[in-house]
Amino acid sequence: KAGVTQTPRYLIKTRGQQVTLSCSPISGHRSVSWYQQTPGQGLQFLFEYFSETQRNKGNFPGRFSGRQFSNSRSEMNVSTLELGDSALYLCASSTGTSGFQETQYFGPGTRLLVL
């Protein structure tokens, strides 16, 4: 079974631009979560989507948004990029059926650099 895939793998943007990242979950998984990883803050939860609805949300500003499609693929968008948004953005998928205590499997991440 193929793992979680994320595109693109690397991205360079300038301040003020916006960016869209994509994630395809493991086949059959319906929950997709997004995390931001930085050296200073570590791994932090952004949001979780299940059945095209945001089910949980972390403590990030409204510039960070996401969505999920009917095939469970998910995108996250960051508008008005700031230097501090430079990070590795990780997507994780799980079955989504229980809504809690589910093993999450991570993709390789998208490395975003904001100049």
Partner 1 sequence: GESVGLHLPTLSVQEGDNSIINCAYSNSASDYFIWYKQESGKGPQFIIDIRSNMDKRQGQRVTVLLNKTVKHLSLQIAATQPGDSAVYFCAENNAGNMLTFGGGTRLMVKP
Instruction: Give whichever of 16 and 84 is closer to partner 1, judged by the CB atom.
Output: 84
What span, in angstroms and rounded, lies between the C-alpha atoms of 10 and 114? 11
For residue 38, the minimal CB distance to partner 1 (Å) is 9
Residue 62 near partner 1 by CB under 8 A:
no
For residue 80, the minimal CB distance to partner 1 (Å) is 25
Site for partner 1 in 24-43 (CB under 8 A): 31, 33, 35, 39-43
Instruction: Give whichever of 70 and 103 is closer to partner 1, judged by the CB atom.
Output: 103
Angle, CA 42 vertex, CA 86 and CA 57 arms, to 5°: 85
Structure tokens at 11: 């991205």
What span, in angstroms and rounded, lies between the C-alpha atoms of 42 and 108? 16
Site for partner 1 in 65-94 (CB under 8 A): 90, 92, 94
Cis peptide bond upstream of 108, omega within 30: no
